[in-house]
Structure 1
Amino acid sequence: MWRRGRQRAYLTDSQDRLRRTGAAGGMAALRNDCDGSGRQRWRSDTLPPATTVIAYRRVVTNHLLAQKLGDAPDPRQWPTIARTRLDLLTARQLDELYAGLLTAGRRDGKEGGLSRRSVRFLASVLGKALKDAARKGLVRTNVALNADPPSEKASQAPETKVWTPEQARRFLSSVAEDPDALLWRFYLATGCRRGEALGVRWSDVDLDAGRISIAQQYTMVGAVPTMLPVKSDRSRRVVDLAPATIDSLRRHRVQQAEHKLALGESYDPDALGLVFAKPDGSPHHPKRVSARFKVRVERAGVPMLRLHDLRHTAASIMLASGEQARVVQERLGHSTVAFTLARYQKVLPGAQAEAATRYARLLDGSDG
């Protein structure tokens, strides 16, 4: 699939195969990509990130093909187009699929449907599949163009939650003696994603220049923690560090060296030279880091946030303090300045009032 112009996948199968297999040549044939028989599959010219592949596969397996998972109900009761021939698929059937998924689309045995955001994502995956099928001559037209998935506005992500500067300081103060104290500060100081911080190597750090290179991430691919390149070219970036963070990293490196010397042969022989690692040099499990963060937030008595919300907090505080949007974009590795502004500029309460007061003072010297 195309994703920001870089990732292209297409449906590979012959028209003869489609005609011979009938109904099995419809969306049901995509099931064969999961079981390895290879009759019909998604293939990538420029391989998308593994996490993206996992997301697409989950959509196809769980919802378009409606395969049974664990103790979930009988898949024949689920909204699906798995038994529909691609060349007989209609926009009305897709509308019915989207409506069904919104009301009864869960696959975990619980009642209820998928979110509008999830259904819209599914529609984008299916739309691209049908577009490629039409281009390959497998269907006459892309009927997804005439269907009506949830609108983009209705499918927007939930409102971003962030800490105020005071809440961030309270949290950092409460975890000052925590073994992960520097990691929590690093997230707030840099706005890095979870996996980006866990993937930083000492070879990526220039303490004399006061900067780090973000080039890889230790992240979840399905259920498996995996070291991967960062998610996009924009995500590959250099981030400057404050003097206090640099000093903390210097002390941290000395402590790591002492741990390595003390452990001797017990030190992980496959250690990757990670900045944030276990005492034996092995990487932290991303999900366990998130779990530890949740416990620390509860103890600190500040509003509950996800670990990823530290990234949102960093961006919001920088923008609210008057930092240029271009600088914030570069530090966070966003694709465009417009995305940065749209995502964060309305988050911190009171920001507009403060801006109005500053402007009034500049305009006529009044207090607003």
Structure 2
Amino acid sequence: TRRRVRPTTYEAYELNVRRLQPDLGSLQLARLDAAVIQATYDRLLQAGLSPRSVEQMHAVLHRALRQGLHWGLIATNPAELVAPPRPRKREMTALTTAQLQRLLMTTRNERWYPLWVILSTAGLRIGEALALGWESVSLETRRLAVVRSLQRQRGLGLVFAEPKTARSRRSIYLSVLACQALSEHRQRQQPPAASRAAWQDSGLVFANRHGGPQDSGSVTSALNRALLRAGLPHVRVHDLRHTTASVLLAGGANPKVVQDLLGHSTVLTTLNTYSHVTESLTHLAAATMDSVLELS
């Protein structure tokens, strides 16, 4: 499994296995039945584990038992007979166009402004943005290439890794606003002469104050402060990516174009993720049809 999944995914699998081990680790496969698995889930829920966490544990256990079935170690998969908790669908959170404008105006002259612009107009994941090198940016052609991601891995710290999926490797056409923000940022990024000896020239667009990779935790803290100053509701850093999609779709952008921008594997993923936006566009579609077919 380690060779077939991303390191962060493997760490999540390990965490789920450790959580299951106290209840199921000492059992022989022949004694592992649906009742035992269901009782384990119930105990973990009563102990305070979230329904989403238990659902993820079920997915890992179900997959492992399915592999055991393929190998002939068990005759049936007992996880098939278990009803895992179904967590409530997480509400999509995004800034409105007016709120985004307010955030950018409030932070216009601050260090983090270029990052907020890229995250909210180009739709990058935070790991993709923090891994971005200047060699992957062309201000002349207004192009940005996503070729890697920055992750924190247990025991290794911050490391560069492959993007989330094959479709995550993509070329993005930048807005004029984004190009202006990056151009100004590049000019300001050079440290003063007195600090150059300590500067680590990593070539990163969004480096830390010493020139090295930036931890996403600092980005979260910076966004929280910016939202507070701007008098805006709390959103996560990842919600700026949602803001990109919501603003574009609400403005009538082709879902296929939004899919390519975000690096989703299929356009169906985009439509399902932002169904709350696309549903509102049905009114626009109906009005357009009325306008086109209006009889004099």
Flag whether TM exceeds 0.5 (same fold). Answer: yes
1:96 Cα shift? Answer: 1.9
Instruction: Select the structure that is richer in helix.
Output: 2
Q: Counterparts of 1:184 and 1:103 in 2: how far apart (Å)?
A: 40
**Are residue 149 (structure 1) and residue 101 (structure 2) matched?**
no
**Are residue 136 (structure 1) and residue 71 (structure 2) matched?**
yes
**Are residue 55 (structure 1) and residue 42 (structure 2) matched?**
no
**Are residue 64 (structure 1) and residue 20 (structure 2) matched?**
yes
| Secondary structure, counterpart of 2:166 in structure 1 | coil
Q: 1:297 corresponds to which residue? A: 227
Q: Counterparts of 1:307 and 1:288 in 2: how far apart (Å)?
A: 11
Q: 1:343 corresponds to which residue? A: 273
Q: Counterparts of 1:260 and 1:282 in 2: how far apart (Å)?
A: 16
1:249 Cα shift? Answer: 1.6
**Aligned pairs, number:** 295
Q: 2:246 corresponds to which residue? A: 316
Contact (CA 8 Å) 1:162, 1:347: kept in 2 or not? no
1:260 Cα shift? Answer: 6.5
Against the structure 1 CA distance between its residues 360 and 261, is the aligned structure 2 distance closer, same or farther, given a 3 Å change threshold?
Answer: farther
Q: 2:31 corresponds to which residue? A: 88
1:170 Cα shift? Answer: 0.9
Q: Counterparts of 1:305 and 1:351 in 2: how far apart (Å)?
A: 24
Q: Counterparts of 1:359 and 1:222 in 2: how far apart (Å)?
A: 55
Q: Counterparts of 1:249 and 1:118 in 2: how far apart (Å)?
A: 39
Q: Counterparts of 1:306 and 1:157 in 2: how far apart (Å)?
A: 17
Q: For the aligned residues, what is the CA RMSD?
A: 2.2
1:322 Cα shift? Answer: 0.7
Match of 1:197 among 129, 142, 149: 129
Against the structure 1 CA distance between its residues 287 and 279, is the aligned structure 2 distance closer, same or farther, given a 3 Å change threshold?
Answer: closer
1:157 Cα shift? Answer: 3.4
Q: 1:283 corresponds to which residue? A: 213
Matches within 5 A, 1:256-267: 256-257=189-190, 259=191, 261-267=193-199
Against the structure 1 CA distance between its residues 326 and 261, is the aligned structure 2 distance closer, same or farther, given a 3 Å change threshold?
Answer: farther
Matches within 5 A, 1:185-224: 185-222=117-154, 224=157
Q: 1:184 corresponds to which residue? A: 116
For normalisation by structure 1, the TM-score amounts to: 0.74
For normalisation by structure 2, the TM-score amounts to: 0.91
1:261 Cα shift? Answer: 4.9
Q: Counterparts of 1:336 and 1:348 in 2: how far apart (Å)?
A: 16
Q: Counterparts of 1:202 and 1:238 in 2: how far apart (Å)?
A: 14
1:83 Cα shift? Answer: 3.0
**Are residue 101 (structure 1) and residue 37 (structure 2) matched?**
no
Matches within 5 A, 1:37-48: 44=2, 46-48=3-5
Against the structure 1 CA distance between its residues 300 and 355, is the aligned structure 2 distance closer, same or farther, given a 3 Å change threshold?
Answer: farther
| Secondary structure, counterpart of 2:117 in structure 1 | helix
Deviates more, 1:165-174 or 1:219-228: 219-228
1:236 Cα shift? Answer: 0.9
Greater radius of gyration (CA): 1
Contact (CA 8 Å) 2:249, 2:278: kept in 1 or not? no
Contact (CA 8 Å) 1:213, 1:239: kept in 2 or not? yes
Contact (CA 8 Å) 1:225, 1:286: kept in 2 or not? no
1:285 Cα shift? Answer: 1.1
Q: Counterparts of 1:172 and 1:123 in 2: how far apart (Å)?
A: 42
Contact (CA 8 Å) 2:271, 2:278: kept in 1 or not? no
Q: Counterparts of 2:266 and 2:203 in 1: how far apart (Å)?
A: 32
Against the structure 1 CA distance between its residues 102 and 355, is the aligned structure 2 distance closer, same or farther, given a 3 Å change threshold?
Answer: farther
User: For structure 2, which runs of at least 5 residues remain unmatched after alignment?
Assistant: none
Deviations 1:213-235 (A, max 9, x none): 10111122248332212111111
Q: Counterparts of 2:243 and 2:295 in 1: how far apart (Å)?
A: 32
1:102 Cα shift? Answer: 2.6
1:295 Cα shift? Answer: 1.2
Against the structure 1 CA distance between its residues 277 and 220, is the aligned structure 2 distance closer, same or farther, given a 3 Å change threshold?
Answer: same
| Secondary structure, counterpart of 1:65 in structure 2 | helix
User: For structure 1, which runs of at least 5 residues remain unmatched after alignment?
Assistant: 1-8, 10-43, 67-79, 105-111
2:45 maps to a residue whose letter is L
Matches within 5 A, 1:243-258: 243-257=176-190
Contact (CA 8 Å) 1:119, 1:149: kept in 2 or not? yes
Greater RCO (CA < 8 Å, at least 6 residues apart)? 2
1:235 maps to a residue whose letter is S
Contact (CA 8 Å) 2:123, 2:242: kept in 1 or not? yes
